[in-house]
């Protein structure tokens, strides 16, 4: 009980830790000694330079929990590591580390579950349980880095949950993880993926953050999109792409689009034509010319959904149509195929067992 009332050390900004130090009669530099250690995964009671009484005071006021590795799967094909992490309250989320030539990328979760209801997605099946705190968002990066013993240089927010549905915590996390005194991961090395919360995309466009925004489009028209993504009933394709145009105009940061190919649902050449048309119409206006890049992802088959992945030929044709209309399209390389539990499936398997 007492635990939950304590503030999380990992959610504090350097200035807040300094203010606390001053409030308990400690010099400011104590914060500078502590903060980098916390972000390396060292618990405050191990930071002996602080002295015993200060460590005691910290323990009385704050909690410090890193996500605990519940399950870890390592791909023998490409070294991809998938973690099922247990949070302090016993809830679990997934994080995945992918190894690229340019460094390690971690894909983190933003919520326990999700309430967006996308029909092809395993993460949303049980709904949303709760938001992750800034410290829990950060904790996934720290815990993965600590477990691997290697630096993580890139972050993608494409795990369980809708990051823009947990806006304030995600924003605080972005400030913490880019902090020079902490992990110091540059905003340009961070991508955030959204199913299309238009109000939040517009809000994010005002934050002056150099992160990359990914939009999960998955269909070029309202009829097709609403059938697989309920959020489209709130904001349709035109409104969403218009928000993308505004985002690009305000930030100068191009947006990448995700398109999950589902056999017989959204993968016809006619829909590829429509997609090219609608993207060009919204994003290549007389005022703005955004370079457009679409990531094509054959859907990961989830037992409960019954959706099938598009065949190789359909994927290739879809990409070719886009390219012929001046839109770069890449078919997402499948990493960790042997440990593949599509996003959210590890957590679901665990839930089904208990
Ligand atoms: N909520 C955010 C981020 C999490 S999902 C979003 O919607 O973008 C990350 C990406 O995986 C999204 O593009 C999502 O649509 C996609 N995705 C979800 N389930 C999938 C599945 N079974 N196969 C392929 N992609 C999937």
> What is the pLDDT confidence band of residue 344, given thresholds at 50, 70 and 90?
low
Nearest CA to ligand 1 atom 15: 216
* Cα gap 93→83, rounded to integer Å: 8
Q: Is the pTM of this model over 0.85?
A: yes
Please confirm, yes or no, whether 343 is among the known catalytic residues.
yes
For ligand 1, which residues put their CB under 6 angstroms from it?
Answer: 118, 120-121, 158, 162, 193-195, 216, 258, 260, 297, 299-300, 302, 342-343
pLDDT at position 332 is: 81
pLDDT at position 337 is: 74
Q: Tell how strand 92-100 and strand 81-86 pair up.
A: antiparallel
> Is 32 in a helix, a strand, or coil?
helix
Task: Tell how far the Cα of 121 is from the centroid of ligand 1, in angstroms.
Answer: 6
Residue pair 343/123 in contact by the 8 Å Cβ criterion: yes
Residue pair 112/140 in contact by the 8 Å Cβ criterion: no
Nearest to 336 by CA among 96, 159, 161, 35: 96
Nearest to 309 by CA among 300, 296, 321: 300
Active-site entry in 18, 26, 92, 94: 94
Give CA torsion, residues 34, 40, 44, 45, to 10 deg. -130
pLDDT at 343 over 80: no
3-state secondary structure 157-181: ECCCCCHHHHHHHHHHHHHHHCCCC
Nearest CA to ligand 1 atom 1: 162
- Pocket test of ligand 1: the residue of 112, 118, 167 to mutate, having most ligand atoms within 8 Å of its CB, is 118
Nearest CA to ligand 1 atom 10: 158
pLDDT at position 156 is: 97
* Cα gap 345→120, rounded to integer Å: 12
């Amino acid at each position: 009980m007492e635990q939950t009332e304590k503030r999380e050390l990992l959610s504090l900004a350097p200035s807040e830790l300094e203010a606390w130090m001053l409030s308990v009669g400690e010099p400011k530099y104590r914060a500078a000694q502590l903060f980098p250690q916390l972000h390396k995964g060292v618990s405050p009671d191990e930071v002996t330079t602080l002295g015993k009484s200060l460590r005691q005071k910290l323990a009385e006021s704050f909690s410090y929990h890193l996500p605990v590795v519940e399950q870890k799967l390592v791909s023998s094909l490409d070294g991809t590591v998938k973690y099922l992490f247990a949070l302090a309250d016993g809830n679990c989320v997934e994080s995945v580390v992918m190894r690229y030539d340019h460094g390690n990328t971690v894909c983190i979760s933003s919520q326990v579950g999700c309430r967006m209801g996308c029909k092809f997605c395993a993460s949303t099946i049980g709904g949303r349980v709760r938001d992750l705190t800034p410290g829990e968002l950060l904790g996934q990066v720290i815990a993965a880095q600590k477990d691997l013993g290697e630096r993580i240089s890139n972050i993608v927010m494409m795990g369980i949950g809708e990051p823009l549905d947990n806006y304030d915590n995600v924003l605080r996390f972005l400030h913490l993880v880019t902090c020079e005194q902490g992990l110091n991961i540059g905003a340009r090395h961070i991508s955030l993926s959204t199913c299309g919360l238009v109000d939040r995309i517009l809000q994010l466009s005002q934050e002056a953050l150099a992160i990359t925004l990914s939009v999960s489009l998955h269909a070029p028209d309202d009829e097709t999109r609403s059938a697989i993504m309920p959020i489209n009933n709130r904001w349709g394709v035109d409104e969403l792409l218009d928000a993308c145009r505004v985002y690009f105009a305000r930030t100068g940061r191009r947006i990448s689009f995700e398109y999950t190919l589902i056999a017989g649902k959204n993968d016809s050449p006619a829909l590829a034509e429509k997609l090219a048309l609608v993207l060009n119409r919204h994003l290549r206006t007389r005022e703005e010319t955004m370079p457009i890049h679409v990531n094509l992802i054959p859907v990961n088959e989830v037992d409960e959904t019954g959706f099938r992945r598009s065949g190789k030929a359909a994927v290739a044709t879809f990409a070719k149509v886009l390219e012929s209309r001046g839109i770069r399209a890449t078919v997402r390389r499948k990493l960790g195929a042997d440990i593949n539990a599509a996003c959210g499936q590890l957590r679901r398997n665990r839930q089904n067992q208990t």
